[in-house]
Chain A
Amino acid sequence: MFSTQLAIKASVQVLQKLMPSAEGGRGFSFPPINTILRWKDVTPGINKVVIISILSAVIGTVLFLVASSKDARKAPKGSRNLAEIIVEFIEKNIIMETMGKSGMGWTPFLLTMFIFIYLCNLPGIIPFIQMPATARMGVPAFMALLVWVVFNATGIKHQGLFGYFKNVLFPPGVPKALYVLVTPIELISTLVVRPFSLAVRLFANMLAGHLLLVIFALLTQALIQAETQRFFLIPIGILPFGLLIFLTAFEILVAFLQAYIFTVLTAVYIGGAAHPEH
């Protein structure tokens, strides 16, 4: 009987060695994902993500309010310069490259979309905020739905209900026999995959970036605060910290790139619906 007790004690010790507990502060454990992503309500119905998305709209509005109230005849500088750079970026690099001159009427829509998404992405790397609003599905899902509604409405407005769906479902220039294959694919890709991939692309990019930052921040903390006999582990914490800095810089690029890609794809979808020959 005694030997059994001994064996149990030994195996329990082995197991505890193998699986370091989370509560002792030793070792590294990743918190459950909802701890990272879901935020407590500040006031009922408003949490951090909500505040970020409201602030994005407010900051964008203030930027353009200040910019447009400046004297237009002078050479632009400061906020007006920034606003004009963004407007010209939208016009030259997004609309002219995808829709051509006829798409200039979409500038305010795409401009607003770009600024809103970029400002929602950016808090992911701002210290002490560090939560991109687009890493929650709410904003991307709404934007993708809005784009879906807008490009379908544009198509119906420009080609008529019948003409639009004829162009979408039976693309011209395809052999008749292939329509059996092409029509279901086009139906799914245009009406289902487009909004889904738009939303998922933005959301997953920002979520992945956020998780990476969290992982390397936690690794740095765990290594620096490690209560270990092997003291050489502590300076090793500089390695995940360096990668954390690098990833933060990378996330700035990703935030811009995702806003840009979302806007370009919106422009492509709208342009394709308005002028199907392109």
Chain B
Amino acid sequence: MRVHVTTLQGDLVEVRVSSEEATTSGEATTTAETTGPNPISPEGKELIWGAGSFLVFLVIMRVFLFPKLKKGMDARYNGIREDFEQADATRLSAKTDVSKYEAALAEVRAEAAGRVDKARQTLDQERSTKIAEANARIASKRSAADAEISAARLAARDQVAAAVATVTSRTTQLAVGKSPDASVVQKAVQEAMQSGARS
């Protein structure tokens, strides 16, 4: 901004404020024309050079560089995908192997269990037969012993009866002076013993 003051004739004064830019010496270093066309209108050389460089870039990319890069990328991706598929196949086969092994294992395990069961069954059978045998033996022994006991008891009883009869006939003989009839004594002894046993 500049302020011009000029005195005209008399007391008529003219003061003008103009906005002419002074040629600034300090700032015009790398700049071109300070005045020029509209800042928005495209400049011919910039448009042409920009267009040319872009089109050349586009052609180079479209024809040479991008297909090459893309081919490499696709090859690697396909390689990776193949690797993945391979890994999947390997995993699948491993899985079938594992299931096969597991089936075999289950079979073996079932067989073993069966055998164990069978062995247990035979053992149980053997044991029960042996127990039964032992029981039978014990029973027979017990019955034999019982028979012996009862025989011994009968024998003892007969002895007692005989002894009692002898004693009775003797006492009767002493008391009466004549030996009693044996059958009468016996009958009396038996009655006494039975009543003794009852009482």
A-to-B contact residues, CB < 8 Å: 1, 4, 8, 11-12, 15-16, 19-23, 25, 31-41, 45-47, 49-50, 53-54, 56-58, 60-61, 64-65, 67-68, 72-73, 76, 80, 83-84, 87, 107-109, 111-113, 115-116, 120, 133, 136-139, 141-143, 146, 203
> Known interface pairs A16-B3, A61-B65. Does A137 touch B57 (Cβ–Cβ under 8 Å)?
no
Nearest CB in chain A: distance from B152 CB, A: 108
* Smallest CB gap from A41: residue in B: B32
Known contacts A11-B15, A39-B30, then 17 further A-B pairs from the complex at CB < 8 Å, ordered by chain A residue: A12-B15, A15-B17, A20-B1, A34-B39, A45-B45, A56-B53, A57-B54, A58-B53, A61-B65, A72-B75, A73-B72, A113-B58, A133-B50, A138-B47, A139-B50, A142-B50, A203-B40
Taking a contact as CB atoms under 8 Å apart, the answer to whether A50 and B50 are in contact is yes
Q: How far is the CA of A269 from the CA of B162 in the complex (A)?
A: 144
Taking a contact as CB atoms under 8 Å apart, the answer to whether B15 and A15 are in contact is yes
Looking at A19, A57, A67, the one whose CB has the most chain B CB atoms below 10 A away is A57
Report B-chain residues with C-beta under 8 Å of the C-beta of A111: 61, 66
Taking a contact as CB atoms under 8 Å apart, the answer to whether B51 and A21 are in contact is no
Nearest CB in chain B: distance from A140 CB, A: 8
Taking a contact as CB atoms under 8 Å apart, the answer to whether A84 and B69 are in contact is yes
- Nearest first, the 7 closest Cβ-Cβ pairs linking A and B are A72-B72, A138-B46, A138-B47, A137-B42, A57-B57, A57-B53, A139-B50
**29 A-B pairs (CB sep. < 8 Å):** A8-B15, A19-B1, A22-B21, A22-B24, A23-B22, A31-B31, A35-B28, A39-B31, A40-B30, A41-B32, A46-B45, A50-B46, A53-B53, A54-B49, A61-B60, A72-B71, A72-B72, A72-B75, A87-B66, A108-B58, A108-B61, A109-B58, A115-B57, A136-B46, A138-B42, A139-B50, A142-B47, A142-B50, A146-B54
Taking a contact as CB atoms under 8 Å apart, the answer to whether B47 and A12 are in contact is no
Taking a contact as CB atoms under 8 Å apart, the answer to whether A25 and B35 are in contact is no
B178: Cβ under 8 A from any A Cβ: no
Taking a contact as CB atoms under 8 Å apart, the answer to whether A137 and B31 are in contact is no
Looking at B13, B45, B48, the one whose CB has the most chain A CB atoms below 10 A away is B45
Report A-chain residues with C-beta under 8 Å of the C-beta of B28: 35
Report B-chain residues with C-beta under 8 Å of the C-beta of A19: 1, 3, 17
Contact bitstring B15-37, A, C-beta under 8 A = 1, else 0: 10100011010111011111110
Determine the interface band of chain B, counting residues with CB < 8 A from chain A. Answer: 35 or more
> Known interface pairs A47-B45, A138-B43. Does A112 touch B71 (Cβ–Cβ under 8 Å)?
no
* Smallest CB gap from A199: residue in B: B42
Taking a contact as CB atoms under 8 Å apart, the answer to whether A53 and B54 are in contact is yes
Taking a contact as CB atoms under 8 Å apart, the answer to whether A34 and B33 are in contact is yes
* Smallest CB gap from B31: residue in A: A35
Q: How far is the CA of A1 from the CA of B48 in the complex (A)?
A: 65
B-to-A contact residues, CB < 8 Å: 1-3, 5, 7, 11, 13, 15, 17, 21-22, 24, 26-28, 30-36, 39-51, 53-54, 56-58, 60-62, 64-66, 68-73, 75-76, 79
Nearest CB in chain A: distance from B3 CB, A: 5
Taking a contact as CB atoms under 8 Å apart, the answer to whether B50 and A61 are in contact is no
Taking a contact as CB atoms under 8 Å apart, the answer to whether B71 and A50 are in contact is no
Q: How far is the CA of A64 from the CA of B59 in the complex (A)?
A: 13
Report B-chain residues with C-beta under 8 Å of the C-beta of A60: 57, 61
Taking a contact as CB atoms under 8 Å apart, the answer to whether A50 and B45 are in contact is yes
Taking a contact as CB atoms under 8 Å apart, the answer to whether A64 and B21 are in contact is no
Nearest CB in chain B: distance from A143 CB, A: 7
Report B-chain residues with C-beta under 8 Å of the C-beta of A107: 66, 70
Taking a contact as CB atoms under 8 Å apart, the answer to whether B42 and A112 are in contact is no
Q: How far is the CA of A37 from the CA of B42 in the complex (A)?
A: 12
Taking a contact as CB atoms under 8 Å apart, the answer to whether B69 and A68 are in contact is yes
Taking a contact as CB atoms under 8 Å apart, the answer to whether A53 and B3 are in contact is no
